[in-house]
Amino acid sequence: MFRKILIANRGEIAARVITTARRLGLATVAVHSDADAGALHVALADEAVRIGPAPVAESYLRGEAIIAAALKTGAEAIHPGYGFLSENPGFVAEVEAAGLVFIGPPAQAIRAMGLKDAAKALMQSAGVPVVPGYHGETRDPAFLAGQAAALGYPVLIKARAGGGGKGMRLVEHPADFAAALQGAEREAQASFGDPACLIEKYVTRPRHIEIQVFADAHGNAVHLFERDCSLQRRHQKVIEEAPAPGMTDAVRAAMGRAAVQAARAIGYRGAGTVEFIADGSGPLREDGFWFMEMNTRLQVEHPVSEAITGLDFVELQLRVASGEALPFRQEELAIDGHAFEARLYAEDAERGFLPATGRLTHLSFPPAAAFAPGPVRIDAGVREGDEVSPWYDPMLAKIIVHGPDRASALARLATVLDECRIAGSTTNVEFLAALARHPDFRAGAVDTGLIARELEGLTARPPLPPEAPALAALAVLDLLSAPADPDPWRSLTGWRGWGAAESHVALAHGGERLDLRLRHLGPGEFTASSPLGETALKVIDHRSGAVRFLSGGVQRTAHAVACPGRVSLFLDGVKHDFSVPDPLLGGTHDHDGGDAIIAPMPGLVGPLRTRAGERVRKGEPLLLLEAMKMEHVLAAPRDGVVAEVLVAEGDQVGDGTVLLRMEPGDA
């Protein structure tokens, strides 16, 4: 076994690898960009080395800087995590040339699976079923459009060099093919340095089922069962589970054999995942799945497989990389219970899942193990007080639950998501909780189109309850203390010689102004009048942000997090954000309304599709903004004429930057 390893990654995966290494007695080295100098993975490691400024091309993709850091600190091996350089065969060769061990598969195995077109041809020759499509070298748009027509729509355009939903477009109509191809090629070039794309027939009700494989240098190769990753948005996984619902022993055995066959065909070593598309229009069949790609690394969703097998996959990676044989045979492996993983992102589900930034002023998870087995496990890459950076993927944490069966595990997931309280940045936690409670998902009727079909309901917010602004106003006025507060002066709060004390508070919520009138009736008792009506409540207890209150004859608990100018209130599993308008400032503007297009998040300006003086129609795409490795289309807010374009392609802009102005009125 190694004495010291370097982790060539960041965020939760770096922290997760460090945790296992520490348990095994290995010293660890972290690397970091300037943006990550104070990050969690840096704090957890024994040593840390700066490798460059914030952009990934100048830091986490600098293989020579990472190798130099390993040599400088005396590390013997490099763990790549996932993403960045984890599937770069050139980096593997450089690591080995430097006399270091790469904790992953050989370069030739990565190379064999790195380009989807070549990988599919290899799998066909190995007898593994593949999805019909064009996997050749020609990149001429007209030729590719012809191949798509021959396959029959809908088709899927996929970057041959990547994964994670980047460089991927679903095209349902021939008229949309050219624009979709251009977008996929741009995203592929930006993410993987290779714009080439392939075309595949799109299975109309597909399920994404993947098989975890492990192989060692002694000729042993096994599969560790399947994961269902069908709950996706824009081809990115949202909630994963193991085992797959509706899986039979016969289909599991067939998929497992195909996955091990694929691994053996390329001389694989270490942890890998063979991904299949399965026909979800009916029960799973032995002849109803096709090879999609192989990820030659540890997957983001590996904890669900750890939960049902009781194994630590990072430990297995370390042991295999150090030359040990796998400690088990296929027949010794068994499935224990059911597990789910939900990916918690800093993103705004109500605004098309735009990435969000901000400082995490409050971060509270339910009691759980960190990077370890248990009924609840939280793999987080951030701490309270950390800044969500616009430079990297916006995933904050992975919420993993395990139970004896699917129904109990899924119920646990929904409850745990309700108990996650995060302030300072918008997250997708309520969307995840709604998804965990969706009747089709609960019934196991999953396919990759479920989220798109049910998106409106999954992102809908319940009406604002009148207790929420009332409690937020009390937090602003610092009146949430319980009646038994030991401070004698606080017991006089609101005292008057005659009548009831009255306060006026202005709040803003969802772009609307709420003017509240609070009357203090006695210790902890208030009435609040607002545009939502009048509500009476009594504060019973307030400890560590948890407010127990009585309203309408029912006791409930809320959590209030107040900071200058803002209050986040968590009530019944929903977060309500309020701001305190500055009376010296004017009104606010929407990001995408009126006479301007305003950047909804920090990002890089992509190709412009309009110019000053051009007439446009509402909803017409005008420019692209690249943020957190994804392209976001910004469209015309109304019919009219473009007055001026204030940015150029390649500009880095901040949240709230005015990008384009329209002529006023109906010009």
> In this predicted structure, what is the pLDDT of residue 502?
87
In this prediction, residues 532-545 reach a mean pLDDT of 90
Q: Are 193 and 160 in contact (CB under 8 A)?
A: no
pLDDT above 90: percentage of residues in the chain: 71
Nearest C-alpha neighbor of 106 from the set 98, 116, 95: 95
3-class DSSP assignment, residue 242: strand
- CA angle in degrees (0–180, nearest 5) for 206-352-602: 125
Q: How many CB atoms lie within 10 A of CB 486?
A: 8
pLDDT at position 7 is 98
Which of 233, 297, 319, 421 does the annotation list as catalytic?
297
Return the pLDDT at 634: 87
Among 38-42, 118-122, 173-177, 418-422, the minimum mean pLDDT is found in: 118-122
* Mean local confidence (pLDDT), 109-132: 87
Judge contact between 6 and 29, C-beta under 8 A. yes
Query: Confidence class of residue 575 from pLDDT cuts 50, 70 and 90?
Result: very high
pLDDT band of residue 119 (cuts 50, 70, 90) is confident
pLDDT digits (tens, 9 = 90+) for 1-36: 999 999 999 999 999 999 999 999 999 999 999 999
| 297 noted as active-site residue | yes
Distance CA 156, CA 244 (A): 24
pLDDT of residue 231: 96
Quickly state the pLDDT bin for 73 (edges 50, 70, 90): very high
pLDDT of residue 482: 53
Q: For residue range 150-178, what is the model confidence (pLDDT) as tens digits?
A: 999 999 999 988 776 788 999 999 999 99
pLDDT at residue 585 in the model? 45
Q: What's the pLDDT at 586?
A: 43
Query: Within 10 Å of residue 246's Cβ, how many Cβ atoms?
Result: 16
Burial class (CB in 10 A: 0-12, 13-18, 19+), 648: exposed
Secondary structure (3-state) at 362: strand
Q: pLDDT tens-digit profile of 442-477?
A: 999 999 999 999 999 999 999 999 999 999 999 999
Mean pLDDT score of the chain:
91
- The Cα–Cα gap between 545 and 555 comes to 16
Q: What is the pLDDT of residue 650?
A: 86
pLDDT digits (tens, 9 = 90+) for 483-509: 545 555 444 455 444 445 788 999 999
pLDDT band at 653 (very low <50, low <70, confident <90, very high): confident
pLDDT digits (tens, 9 = 90+) for 591-638: 444 678 888 777 788 888 899 989 999 888 898 888 755 677 888 888
pLDDT at 219: 95
Residues whose CB falls within 8 Å of the CB of residue 406, separated by 6 or more in sequence, listed in order: 241, 245, 338, 444
